[in-house]
Amino acid sequence: AQSVSQHNHHVILSEAASLELGCNYSYGGTVNLFWYVQYPGQHLQLLLKYFSGDPLVKGIKGFEAEFIKSKFSFNLRKPSVQWSDTAEYFCAVAQGGKLIFGQGTELSVKP
Amino acid sequence: ETGVTQTPRHLVMGMTNKKSLKCEQHLGHNAMYWYKQSAKKPLELMFVYNFKEQTENNSVPSRFSPECPNSSHLFLHLHTLQPEDSALYLCASSQEIMGPGVPYEQYFGPGTRLTVT
């Protein structure tokens, strides 16, 4: 069965630092990949998604992610984080009509 | 954001109570989902409905009973819950159920924080 691993449980950065959050999935074949964000007290919202085409995907708020099929990875990046990026980030894989989530990475950005 | 609403936002119930969670989507979607979000664990898919028909029951105990009277509303009926059922219950909707290469995004509600005492 498909599973998703997010290796970083809690990341603490200073403003303007670069961010990379890891995401690996276990099962190959055709996959659709997502990153969702949950700001404190708010609902889950989509940051970006990959379905096909260019493996470098750009999302909202300056985030991007790169799909590397050979590594089963879909890491999230941002060149310069802001305090307002403090949130929990979830990687998800769609397979068989279902979204399978990783356990999330909590990002704390210090002003 | 009022696309997907959930009520109540917080619920405390005893193990012998019966309560219901409500979800409503205003997006014209045909698929709706219930998820359970527990601390330090991945979101767990519980149920999927597509055009009011249940298409997925992810081995959920029978003390959780979903109901989908129409494509806009989804309920989760709760009875004789256990303390380990305390969690954030999220509802989501999408245009239809995703398939390979079919880019249907899921939109989430704010969740109901359930505490079972």
Q: For B31-75, what is each residue's pLDDT tens digit?
A: 999 999 998 788 999 999 999 999 888 899 999 999 999 999 999
- Is the predicted pLDDT of residue B14 greater than 80, yes or no? yes
Q: If pLDDT is split at 50, 70 and 90, which confidence band does B101 have?
A: low
Q: How far away is chain A from the Cα of B99, in angstroms, using its nearest Cα?
A: 5
Q: State the nearest Cα–Cα gap between B108 and chain A, in angstroms.
A: 6
E runs forming strands in B8-79:
10-13, 18-25, 31-37, 44-50, 53-57, 64-70, 73-79
- Mean pLDDT computed over A2-17: 93
Looking at chain A, the whole-number percentage of residues with pLDDT higher than 70 is 100
Interface of A with B (CB under 8 A): 4, 9, 30, 32, 34, 36, 42-46, 49, 51-52, 90, 92, 94, 97-104
| Residue A27 reports pLDDT greater than 90 | no
What pLDDT sits at residue B2? Answer: 66
Residue B41 pLDDT: 84
More confident site: B58 or B88? B88
